Chain A
Amino acid sequence: MTLLRHGIQVTPPRGWDARIYLRDAGPGERTHPILHAATVRLPGDRGDYGSNVVTALGSDDAFVALLEFDAEAARSNLFAASGLPRVSARDLRPQTLHRTLPGQSGLQMFFHVKARAFSLYVVVGAHSRRLFTMPRVQQLLGSIRLEA
């Protein structure tokens, strides 16, 4: 099943739960679409970078978050990289985590597609199993299309 919302398209491989959502903006804020995908069921009360999801990851599980930012960010140094990154197991680091949990590792990359700025964040349940997990993540990422 393909999801397409807010210019983000994903076709989750078998075994992945995926959501594309846009939070209501609070006073003064701007909100942007977020894609969450995980090999576990996504709870409703999850944080944008995976709180309440990453704690549920088993050794062979993975969580992916793709967050969009303001369009102006696309021209900034932080988002200078162009195009959805190609990732590998070598990119995973135990310290590259929003919240460090034992055994897990992650990666984070900022990039832009045309005038859209994004952050890609990936967590795998066990760093020791990353060579197994990463292909599943790559398969998911390969299904993502970002409209300009």
Chain B
Amino acid sequence: MRAGDELEPLRVTPDRYLTVRYAGASGDFNPIHIDEEFARQVGLPGRILHGLYTMAQVARAHTDAGGPASLKRLSVQFRGMGVPEAELVVTGTVREVRDDAVAVVESSCEQDGKRIIRNAEAELRLEP
């Protein structure tokens, strides 16, 4: 991995019931993610994706090549809201490689042309 290399872009379209499955899998049952009526009542367009589900897609784009032990650190900023039934696209670029041991990767996640995760920064452990 070298500075300027790009991650293999990750594309995924969460289906209509994804938020329900993620709520069960993660333990986060906030009704804005699973109850259409409640979400509208609090001024949202409808049920929204869990930010940590979207972050998991960003993480996946980083570990697909090197496996789970390669991800040392990941930080993200959530902006806007992700929704089910629209494609998420995660892209990233290696900013620098330190001592041939750690790659620093900048990435973001877009949906419908909006960056719902931006300024994501990861450190990947490289194979010795």
Real binding pair: no
